[in-house]
């Protein structure tokens, strides 16, 4: 099978998705992910795929069930749906994650796991008496993909069926498949993918046809670290008449600069100088992964002597990028 033909089937499969057994049973994988968010949070890639394809209702419902803000901070309480989607697109570009809806939707579906997968399969298997050929990805071990499927003929009294044509695999090799199909009996099919590429599987059994597309894995991500130094030089000096002089102050705030970036805990500081260290002070008024704010003060022990200080706020930022 040529790559061009596989692409044609791929697009046809996407257009026909609404007519699948899963759709007829209203078994939307994202519905189960929203309830069992472990599938969404298993990696930064699944978080991205979810955010790039989620409706506002799906995002808000998932956010209620997610503890924390996620690997990329996409579920932070401070983010609106629109902000989270914009941030997801920026991270996808930085990490070379394919942010097209077709890719993200397929990647998310094939990443279904745990209780979310169990609930999804239970939903599909409610249709075991209706004509059709159900096919889903059950597990993955490296490049080995285990699919499960069951068949029911157009004549629901038919007890068994054979292949109408040999299974078609593009981008991989068939390792194991059932010799025959019994009505409503769940069978396993194992396919070994050829490297990190898109894979196409097509089955034709007893008058029923089903296609499954496995998209390639996104590029691996590494977390880089870089000191972020504010461009602002804060300046504070004591001022006022003698007696009654007072301390001077100045403030600054920094936020991560890179998509998906956050500040490493306990790395914020001020690179400062002062004419009187004993009367210099600094207070970090905000100290979060997404923002750091500081106020510096400088006072004097004798009003006739002006003391001054300068400083630059800095912290170490960590951020995702595609591995070389």
* pLDDT at res. 13: 44
Residue range 155-174: mean pLDDT, rounded: 97
pLDDT band of residue 3 (cuts 50, 70, 90) is very low
Q: Are 211 and 199 in contact (CB under 8 A)?
A: no
Sequence ranges of the domains in the chain: 221-322
pLDDT tens across 26-50, in order? 899 999 999 999 999 999 999 999 9
| DSSP for residue 193 | E
CB atoms within 10 A of CB 200: 22
Question: How far from 299 is each of 238, 270, 305, CA to CA, in Å?
Answer: 5, 18, 10
Residue with tokens 């078994």: 27
CATH topology assigned to domain 221-322 = Immunoglobulin-like (2.60.40)
* pLDDT at res. 194: 96
Q: Element (H or E) spanning 199, and its range?
A: strand 199-205
Portion of the chain with pLDDT greater than 90, in percent = 84
Cα distance between residue 196 and residue 37, in whole Å: 26
37 phi/psi in degrees, rounded to 5? -75, 0
Residue range 101-110: mean pLDDT, rounded: 94
pLDDT tens across 79-99, in order? 899 999 999 999 999 999 998
């Amino acid at each position: 099978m040529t790559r061009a033909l596989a692409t044609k089937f791929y697009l046809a499969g996407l257009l026909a998705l609404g007519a699948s057994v899963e759709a007829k049973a209203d078994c939307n994988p994202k519905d189960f992910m929203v309830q069992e968010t472990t599938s969404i949070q298993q990696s930064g890639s699944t978080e991205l795929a979810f955010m790039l394809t989620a409706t506002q209702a799906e995002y808000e419902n998932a956010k209620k069930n997610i503890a924390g803000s996620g690997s990329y901070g996409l579920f932070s309480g401070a983010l609106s749906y629109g902000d989270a989607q914009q941030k997801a697109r920026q991270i996808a570009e930085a990490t070379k994650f394919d942010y097209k809806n077709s890719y993200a939707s397929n990647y998310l579906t094939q990443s279904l796991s745990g209780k979310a997968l169990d609930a999804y399969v239970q939903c599909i298997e409610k249709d075991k008496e209706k004509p059709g050929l159900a096919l889903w990805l059950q597990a993955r071990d490296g490049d080995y993909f285990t699919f499960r499927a069951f068949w029911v003929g157009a004549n629901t009294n038919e007890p068994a069926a054979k292949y109408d044509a040999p299974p078609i695999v593009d981008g991989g090799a068939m390792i194991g498949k059932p010799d025959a199909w019994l009505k409503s009996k769940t069978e396993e099919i194992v396919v070994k993918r050829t490297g990190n590429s898109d894979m196409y599987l097509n089955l034709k059994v007893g008058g029923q046809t089903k296609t499954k597309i496995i998209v390639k894995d996104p590029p691996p991500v590494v977390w880089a670290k870089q000191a972020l130094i504010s461009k602002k030089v804060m300046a504070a000096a004591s001022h006022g008449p003698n007696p009654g002089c007072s301390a001077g102050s100045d403030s600054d705030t920094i936020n991560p600069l890179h998509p998906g970036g956050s500040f490493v805990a306990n790395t914020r500081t001020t690179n400062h100088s002062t004419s009187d260290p004993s009367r210099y002070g600094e207070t970090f008024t905000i100290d979060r992964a997404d923002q750091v704010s500081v106020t510096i003060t400088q006072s004097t022990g004798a009003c006739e002597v002006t003391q001054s200080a300068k400083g630059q706020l800095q912290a170490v930022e960590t951020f995702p990028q595609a591995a070389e």
